[in-house]
Structure 1
Amino acid sequence: MRVLEDANTKELYSESHPRLKSTEGRMSIPQFKKRWQPQKAPDTSKLVTLYGRIQSIRKHGNKLIFLTIVNEVETIQGMINLKMVQPMTKEAFKLFGRLIERGDHIFYVAITGKPTRSSTGELVLEARVLPELLAPAMEPIPESLTDPETKSQKRHLDMLVNREVADTLRLKSHIMQFIRDHFLRDDFLEVQTPILAHNAGGAVARPFVTRATEFPNKELSLRVAPELWLKRLVVGGLNKVFEMGPSFRNEGIDATHNPEFTMCEFYSAYANLEDLIGITEALMQGLANRCDELIRDKLTSLQPIDVAKFAAPFPRIEFIPALEEALGFRLPNLSGRDALPEVLAESVPSTLAKLLDRLAAVYLEPQSFERPALITHHPACMSPLAKSFLCPRTGQLVSARAELFVDGRELANMYEEENDPTAQARKLAEYRAMSARKPSSSSLAGVEGDGEGEGGMAVQGGRDDGDMDAAPLDKSYIKAMEAGLPPTGGWGCGVERLVMLFSGANRISDCLTFGTLRNVVGLTSEGPGHGAEYGTATQDKQNGDDQDGEKPV
């Protein structure tokens, strides 16, 4: 750790963390480069002032120092020549050279000078005033950082040293902005719905529960999804609404799941499944183009995107016919009470919906590795919140639903909403009853623990209909539907899953500002050995945080 205020440095720096002064000609490095880059001969009639962090220092003798200064993703080279700065002694200049270090924030970073060009044509800001130290890096910034423990516990250093870490978070911001702009251009209204409520409905998950001082006798829950709130708004006349925000599910942590995550959902009155698929294809193609542009021009540490892969239309896989073809036999009536025993073979999940989801994971979802694919028309028993109809091709009762899969991972889930309150109450009751029924002991021989919730909604932030047996029936929502929910199309997507797709990240922790909950708890705990107590990046790996398997049961 450096001591900046000794007898030798006080003359140069009266304080190590001064207030920021207002100066003429102040601009960001991107603004500076945009203004002067096109000019063959930069205008040297005006001084400019930039701020940033020292990325590297190169000294040439005792009279010349080159600095690379970074602000966000843009860098620029600064040149400090003893002959060109305001009059000062050689000893003072040498002291300045010994004082500044990599990671310091300075005033231009802090060079104030005239823009020139190097012999290679690169923009260089030649100092006319000696840079002023704004904030020293008291902790050394390493040249490289690969240790998982350190990367987890010192995320700020990981971002500074490994550019792809920060670039992934920047890409996430751009993805969210693109989604927001896409919906706003289509006349959607962005809303915020409650995060804390009496019941957590609308998705499959174990909620986080707490109590409020205002309601000491009531148990409250953090939301697991905004679905039911958003559909209430559609009933209230807000025909096109969307929301991006946090949701919370008190479940395991792995490569694609974290208890806190970002979800995006939209609901559009008078939209059917074909409309939802068209919106999805347009959004994904637009995101691919935008992310590819950003990675080529700014976020260059990330891997390029195969834009052609996302060209619409996407292949469609009809659930029941495709599964029957893969299994080699015709499925029984999946709406019947005895459907599960008829389909059981050896080792299976405990409910029909879970079984169908598991079969889809084996036989259907891998078809998305070459190109994004839409799995459509799931059996009605898997989607109690969706409209259902009798499929003329199979004679089965199916849902007006589609799931988007890319590289074997679910990205989005969409369906026509059930808007008949009587039918909705009946479907939810039937679903809960089906979940409560267990197959015979002979049928369960060798059954292992189930992984994903029923419905297979692996998408965090997607519209997860699985394990509805764990979710209470929201009677107030059914009552709200009686005021008239118009025919409505709904769509949900986990934002971190999109970021993983377009950034090339292998773990959801890479797409969260401070990693998974395991990392966050380790960061905020106190005392020695807290990393071992609460889990570290190394333990994340051991617990499957870098694997693509199912959530821990």
Structure 2
Amino acid sequence: MRNRHVDLLLNPWLSDTIRLRAKVIQFLRQYLSDDGHIEVQTPILADTAGGAVARPFTTTATEFQDRRISLRIAPELWLKRLILGGFEKVFEIGPSFRNEGIDLNHNPEFTTCEFYRTYVDLEGLMSKTETMFLRLSRVVATTLQYECRNIPPQEIDFSPPYRRLDFIPAVEAAVGQQLPDLTSLVAQSELLALFNDKGITLPSLPTVPRLLDKLSSTYLEPQCITPTWIINHPECLSPLSKSFIHPDNQQRVAARAELFIEKQEFVNTYEEENSPEEQRRKFEEQLLHHEGDPDAGVDESYLQALEWGLPPTGGWGCGIDRLCMLFAGTNRIADVLSFGTLRNVVALRQSSKKS
């Protein structure tokens, strides 16, 4: 792996994987452009990482030596500012960074595709995704047949409609009991009791969002072999999305959907929260679940931007690397990156120093 150029010369499957990646990105760019989206580039360096909950990479700039500069962890808030500025459909394909671990599925530097468009609801976003993935699967099939013949085709049926799992009812069915009111003061203690009763390993820092995320990964995600939507997440898991009272259980849930295939997440999409007051409330409640986290905070500049009036907007994000892994039939993210993971890149530099 340290001599990636040699690997590419000797391994036709690996070089075909990189070619397939280019075809996937080309398709997404063309599909969104044909659908009226404008491709944009948003800042990678800023004074806040913004857009997701993760540990950012930080540095300093000679021009602002008294301030910490962060590499973005997601372009979301910048793209929504463009919607605020009058653009109706925008998208960006580019890198994001999270200062977290490296494993088979994760690399600190990764590529995403995000789009935002006005006047579309969650049903519309899900329908557009299903159409997009069906067309992409056909493009990939043709590519594997004629251009990347060293990659065997994947037997996945992308024909709509996809199966759906309603988060809270599906978890309750799996554990055999009702979940507590997730906005109550006793929600955490009751969830901890559930974990103890079921013998589920606790996540580190077992906050309500992390406990709910663990329930999803334990009971819901393993059910998602064929393309499956997990919908209506608890509100605390989606602070940037609109929310509503679920008519069946009276819980506060997000107008959000995640697409899983073969137990892996590929798409996260939701109706964007456009009320400055509601967004502030959700930011502040998010803080309660991140005590001691120096990177947690309320993004005042984004709240001020919302005061200008964000129209009803739908947002959509997809991890390019994982999507390429799916179509290449590999479970290693290193295989779809030109020079492997950050560990490989650093090792290459160290190897050259020794020689």
What range describes the TM-score normalised by the shorter chain of this pair? over 0.9
Per-residue deviation at 1:222? 0.8
Alignment of 1:218-367 (within 5 A): 218-307=67-156, 309-345=157-193, 346=196, 347-349=201-203, 350-367=206-223
Which amino acid is the alignment partner of residue 193 of structure 1? T
1:94-113 matches, cutoff 5 A: none
Greater shift after overlay, 427-436 or 274-283? 427-436
Aligned pairs for 1:123-202 within 5 A: 152-202=1-51
Deviation at 1:306, TM superposition (A): 2.1
Give the number of the structure with larger relative contact order, counting CA–CA contacts within 8 Å between residues 6 or more apart.
Answer: 2
Classify the secondary structure of the residue corresponding to 1:211: strand
How far off its partner does 1:259 sit? 0.7
TM-score by length of structure 1 reads 0.61
Q: Confirm or deny that 1:377 pairs with 2:232.
A: yes
Corresponding residue SS for 2:66: strand
Conserved 8 A contact 2:117-2:313: yes
1:214 to 2:63 alignment:
yes
Amino acid at match of 2:154: I
Residue 470 of structure 1: how far off its partner (Å):
3.3
Q: Secondary structure at the match of 2:230?
A: strand
**What residue number does 2:267 align with?**
412
- Contact 1:288 1:305 (8 Å CA) reproduced: no
Contact 1:281 1:314 in 2 (8 A): yes
User: For 1:470, which of 295, 314, 323 is the aligned residue?
Assistant: 295
How far 1:177 moved relative to its partner? Answer: 0.6
Higher helix share: 2
Aligned-pair CA distance for 1:239: 1.2
Which amino acid is the alignment partner of residue 324 of structure 1? E
Once residues 338 and 268 of structure 2 are traced to their aligned partners in structure 1, the CA distance between those partners, rounded to angstroms, is 25
In the other structure, the counterpart of 1:7 is none
Q: Distance in 2 between matches of 1:294 and 1:306?
A: 15
How far did 1:492 drift? 0.7
- Deviation of the 1:528 alpha carbon: 2.5
The answer to whether the 8 Å contact 2:287/2:297 transfers is no
Alpha carbons 2:290, 2:296 under 8 Å: kept: no
Written as runs of structure 1 = structure 2, the 5 A alignment for 1:67-106 is: none
Distance in 2 of aligned mates of 1:471 and 1:280: 31
Matched position secondary structure for 1:501: helix
Q: Aligned-pair distance for 1:366?
A: 1.1
**Rounded Cα–Cα distance in structure 1 between residues aligned with 2:179 and 2:253:** 13
Aligned residues: 346
| Aligned partners of 1:376 and 1:401 also within 8 Å | yes
TM-score norm. by structure 2 comes to 0.95
Task: Give, as a single letter, the amino acid of the residue that structure 2 aligns with 1:527.
Answer: K
2:84–2:305 CA contact under 8 A, matched in 1: yes
CA distance in 1, matches of 2:115, 2:344: 31
Is there any run of 5+ residues in structure 1 with no aligned partner, and where?
1-151, 438-466, 530-553
Q: Deviations over 1:210-233 (max 9, x none)?
A: 111111211111111100000000
Q: Contact 1:202–1:224 (CA<8 Å) still a contact in 2?
A: yes
Aligned equivalents of 1:327, 1:190: Cα separation in 2 = 44
Match among 321, 324, 335 for residue 496 of structure 1: 321
CA-based RMSD of the aligned residues comes to: 1.3
